[in-house]
Amino acid sequence: MATPSPSEFIDALAGRVIPVLTPLLQPAVGEVRHRLVLLLNHVLGQEPEAMARLARQRGRVVELSWREWRLRLQASAAGLLEHAPEGAVAHLTLTIAEESPWVLAQAALRGDKPPVRIAGDVQLAAEVNWLVDHLRWDLEEDLARLLGDAPAHALVLGGRQAAAALRAFVVSLAERFPLRSRSPAEVSPGTTDAGGSR
């Protein structure tokens, strides 16, 4: 029996563990979603143009999904995000097309966006794309408010160095254990992938 590559091992492990853990973690999922919305609103609150763009989409619902997980957010009149009410119809659906956590982690460490299937309102999709391209969390500035400038700078610098080391490690693993060839994610008619092609 051949030894599986790290990507095959992680994919197989995720395929077994995620369905088991999902019901166990369900109570914590609501809290994680709540914290995520708070973080997104914190980042939005630092960019008036982003809030103005989002306010124009007031009441519109965006559904983000990967595997069996779903997050439904609604734009508020204040230009922030809130959880969409139960039963609200999604005006825009963004589905991460790549199922493999290993491939997604590699792409994230390279700074690449994951492949996404987009279906729904074109104007809302354009606004979400603008937000993704222009919003950045200035972690160092937030840490400086809590700890002071020098400690915040040192922490962020250490984090960048750790991320660079992790990135180099993943790249070396990917070179040593290349992924099996995969067929490109299918994009159904009337949808667009993250690159904008039809």
Topology given in CATH for the domain delimited by 7-101+112-135: Nonspecific Lipid-transfer Protein; Chain A (3.30.1050)
Dist CA 90 CA 88 (whole Å) = 6
Beta carbons within 8 Å of 148's beta carbon, 6+ residues apart:
none
pLDDT of residue 8: 73
pLDDT averaged over 10-residue windows placed end to end, the chain, 198 residues: 69 75 75 88 91 94 89 94 93 91 78 87 92 81 80 80 78 70 44 44
The pTM score is 0.64
Which residues lie below 8 Å from residue 118, measured CB to CB, with a gap of 6+? 92, 93, 94, 125, 191, 192, 193, 194
Rounded Cα distance, 116 and 187, in Å: 9
Domain residue ranges in the chain: 7-101+112-135, 138-178
| pLDDT score of 94 | 94
pLDDT for 113 equals 82
**Residue-level pLDDT at 197:** 42
* Distant-in-sequence contacts of 180-183, Cβ < 8 A, 24+ apart: 180/5, 180/8
